[in-house]
Structure 1
Amino acid sequence: MVFNRKIDAFTLLLLFSVMFSFGQGNFELPGKQQDKIRFELINNLIVIPVEINGVKLSFLLDTGVSKPILFNITNTDSLQMNNVETIFLRGLGAGETVKALKSKNNFLKIGNAININQEIYVVFDQEINFTPKLGIPVHGIIGYNLFKDFIVEINYRSKVIKLNRREDYTYKTCKKCETFTLSFHNDKPYIDGEVILGEDTLLVKLLIDTGSSDALWLFEDDSHGITAVNNNYFHDFLGRGLSGNVHGKRSKISAFKLKNFTLNNVNAAFPDSSAIKHAKRIENRNGSLSGEILRRFNVIFDYENAKMTLKKNANFKDKFRYNRSGIVLEQHGFRMVKESVNKKSVDNYGRSNDDNITISNVETYRMGLKPAYTIIEVRENSPAEKAGLLKEDIVVSINGKKAHELKLQEVIHYFRGKVGKMVRLKIERGGQIINVEFRLEDVFKKKELPN
């Protein structure tokens, strides 16, 4: 059984491809027909609580992964892994294989669902760490092992997952729903759809990938007519694969169709062919369908019956936007911040003055460690580059708001605003505070030709 995994963060991205032997335990819901699990939705990615051998962790829920992968375990020294052996994994990028451990007979608990005999793969490469990209601790990814044992409902609006025992589940009549037949390769679900590129309508076979924050990935193929439309694209860093960085083109396609559902002016990424050679080995695969599209639906996965049901939610008509600043931001460590605690009136002896007679005002401060939001990439010819921003600059404030008082994704949201929107940053560089401002630009704006 081949294990092939992709995550794209910011787009987050991680692809594994490795051989596994079959045989694992099953998840059960003792004494229950259904269980509800609340999740965090960050950059279109689902983060759920997972308990492994008594230790509480956070995992990405990813239909593109066949075995649980554990990483970022430096702060979980109490975690006991059972029956380990060494293996090597290969994924996206041009680098070498990565050393990992395969561990058997582990206890997993997700909500009230338990599995007493789960294989887990442990990767120690410190570069494989989604915490800086999402701004919250993430320790691993899980997919097929959970989906195969339940009928799984995902409500992206209420941020709730329902795990339903198959034998107790009854489908409700839904006139506004569409049900799709899934095919499976290496325990991963594929769906057929249509992309409209220019004037051409093309049938495509796509991996359903809840572990990717993009809308669509399309594998360029001249014989199938899949190319970035009319050269209307820009080159970008797509993410880091297990075996190195992945770059490619970002573009727009006219429309994407799933039966009677039609989405217009959809974002599409076209990864470099050298980075996806392993993923393209799946017969007739043309790309991936991911979180930016899936979040527009309520989704029901029924792996045993090889089907998926979709119903539009309130996100359906949201516009597809790109980062118009050219900044890729991550949380890297912490910075010391001076914060005001309160202001009180005191007399000349330092005593509190309750008689409304102000003798002197004393401002009380405290120093604390706050997240440091660091620029890790600046896209060429972007507004950020033109304004002089550099890698390793730390964002101190954005449009007058202190960065450390915002979540990482709230800061990034400013970079996806309307064309022409002014962005004012205070950044820290080499211990100095520098003011920078720029306007967001259309990422597809045609470049002026030199004279």
Structure 2
Amino acid sequence: MFFFNNLGFSQSKFVIQNKKETVKIPFKLINNIIIIPVEINGIELSFLVDTGVNKSIIFNFLNISDSLQIKNTETFFLRGLGEGEAIKALKSKGNILKIGDAINVDQELFAVYNPNLNFAPRLGIPLNGIIGYDLFKDFVVEINYTSKYIRLTNPSSYTYKNCNSCETLEMEFYKNKPYIYSNIVIKEKQIPVKLLIDSGGSDSLWLFEEDSLGIHPGNLYFEDFLGHGLTGSVYGKRSKIKGFSINHFNFNMVNVSFPHPESLIYVRQHKERNGSIAGNILKRFNLIINYPDGTITFKKNRHFYDPFSYNKSGIELEQDGLRLVKQKDYDYKNTDDFLGEYHQGSKTTVVLGTKYKMELKPVYSIVELRKDSPADNVGLMVGDVILTINGKSTDKYDLQEISHMFYEKQGERIKLEVERNGVELTFVFYLEDVFEQ
């Protein structure tokens, strides 16, 4: 979801420090995007892997120059997706960046201090930065969405395996970002499109409206929050298109978003671009991305036939701090207060007594609410803190588990207990699929 432009490139390079000239890095897949561990100047952080960016950035650190020893800086202003203004960043050279056994001892970074640029609450896990071109330019990169790992290999040591079911496409590059040609079908019309490969986006497809080409959402769509860009929130239309294909790989009734033009001012500098292929399509394949040769190989995996679903509630959540939750402590034993026993497999645990303990648990708040959505229509509001969902306390779930409940089938009943200005309220609504009405 990020876009940098008109920034210079250093000649720094990653080197793999082992004899096999390859390294395997596990990742977390959150909302269809890839999060990997990255070490910068000896400090371990979490980075988003985003083929849609051409520079590495870190953000939201207090005393960042001291903790990461970031020096040799100069001021830059970065622009990207979103409706806001350019943000201030410090460009720093000579940083040591390590990913597994791959190391770059002269990494250029852009450090952003803007406190509003914080993606961790929307993901539910810490996120300290983004890396794209700087990682991909030196390696053949395998992304295995099934087993959740990335493998980096020196191009001179990489051997392709025979794969009759794979599709290999040539990539074109614009400002060091990869593009491929594919086809969409809108109202029975097949349209060739040039799309950015965007592993940092969680949607399926983004398309830029162009009436002369027949690229538009038609009459069946709804306005929605699409995500966060570098310079602000992105809003647009959510719809479906009849078909999408990457060579011989075909999808039917695919989710598509049409971002509003005001969010795309800097993105549309590449006039030939028609949109993006994002994580909800990419995760259906295991990929081999070879920047040095300019190719990408697709091999479908077990996610290929996963249904395309939308958030049918209208609610967008974020993790909004922590709260103290009172819970029973079954580790506490009091021989004077026998309560009983419970069985687990071949083991029997005798509970002699209980005592309550207080634990810090995440708070989940509504931060976006789609107008005329099921949640909006029953009176839920931005700022409401969700206490329980379908009768179960939200401290039993992580953010992704709660959000996925809003993607269930048409007609699913959702009961929420929320706190609003110190008052507890209960709301019941049913999920609605706009495209099945």
Normalised TM-score (structure 2) = 0.93
Q: Find the aligned partners of 1:253 and 1:138 in 2 and give their Cα distance.
A: 32
Using a 3 Å threshold, how does the CA distance of structure 1 residues 332 and 345 change in structure 2: closer, same or farther? closer
* 1:165 paired to 2:154: yes
Alignment match, 2:58: 70
1:182-224 alpha-carbon deviations (Å, 9 max, x no partner): 0000000000000000111000000000000010000001111
Kept in 2: contact 1:344–1:352 (CA 8 A): no
* Matched pairs, number: 426
* 1:42 paired to 2:33: no
RMSD: 2.0
Alignment match, 1:4: none
Kept in 1: contact 2:338–2:353 (CA 8 A): no
Q: Choose which of 225, 242, 248 in structure 2 pairs with 1:237.
A: 225
Kept in 1: contact 2:4–2:79 (CA 8 A): yes
- TM-superposed CA distance for 1:72, in Å, is 2.2
Q: Choose which of 237, 247, 257 in structure 1 pairs with 2:235.
A: 247
Q: Find the aligned partners of 2:289 and 2:44 in 1 and give their Cα distance.
A: 26
Using a 3 Å threshold, how does the CA distance of structure 1 residues 338 and 118 change in structure 2: closer, same or farther? same
Alignment match, 2:308: 320
Query: Following TM superposition, where does structure 1 have runs of at least 4 consecutive aligned residues deviating by more than 6 angstroms?
Result: none
What letter is aligned with 1:301? I
Alignment match, 2:324: 336
* Structure-to-structure mapping, 1:235-384, within 5 angstroms: 235-342=223-330, 346=334, 351=336, 363-384=354-375
What letter is aligned with 2:162? T
- TM-superposed CA distance for 1:106, in Å, is 0.3
Alignment match, 1:24: 11
Q: Choose which of 424, 429, 436 in structure 2 pairs with 1:433.
A: 424
Q: Find the aligned partners of 2:332 and 2:54 in 1 and give their Cα distance.
A: 59
* 1:418 paired to 2:409: yes
SS of the residue corresponding to residue 402 of structure 2 reads helix
Q: Find the aligned partners of 1:282 and 1:393 in 2 and give their Cα distance.
A: 41
* Structure-to-structure mapping, 1:46-125, within 5 angstroms: 46-74=34-62, 78-125=67-114
Q: Which runs of 5+ in 2 are unaligned?
A: 342-350
Using a 3 Å threshold, how does the CA distance of structure 1 residues 399 and 74 change in structure 2: closer, same or farther? farther
Deviates more, 1:407-416 or 1:362-371: 362-371
Q: Find the aligned partners of 2:72 and 2:254 in 1 and give their Cα distance.
A: 46
Using a 3 Å threshold, how does the CA distance of structure 1 residues 94 and 362 change in structure 2: closer, same or farther? same
Kept in 2: contact 1:53–1:80 (CA 8 A): yes
Kept in 2: contact 1:218–1:286 (CA 8 A): yes
Q: Find the aligned partners of 2:321 and 2:131 in 1 and give their Cα distance.
A: 26
Q: Find the aligned partners of 2:243 and 2:303 in 1 and give their Cα distance.
A: 17
What letter is aligned with 2:246? L
What letter is aligned with 1:27? F
What letter is aligned with 2:412? K
1:155-204 alpha-carbon deviations (Å, 9 max, x no partner): 10100111111111110000000000100000000000000001110000
1:269-318 alpha-carbon deviations (Å, 9 max, x no partner): 00111211221111310000010000000100011111000001000001
Q: Find the aligned partners of 1:179 and 1:139 in 2 and give their Cα distance.
A: 33
Percentage of identical aligned residues: 50
Using a 3 Å threshold, how does the CA distance of structure 1 residues 261 and 355 change in structure 2: closer, same or farther? closer
- TM-superposed CA distance for 1:91, in Å, is 2.2
Q: Find the aligned partners of 1:100 and 1:88 in 2 and give their Cα distance.
A: 6
Q: Which runs of 5+ in 1 are unaligned?
A: 1-6, 8-14, 447-451
Q: Find the aligned partners of 1:139 and 1:271 in 2 and give their Cα distance.
A: 26
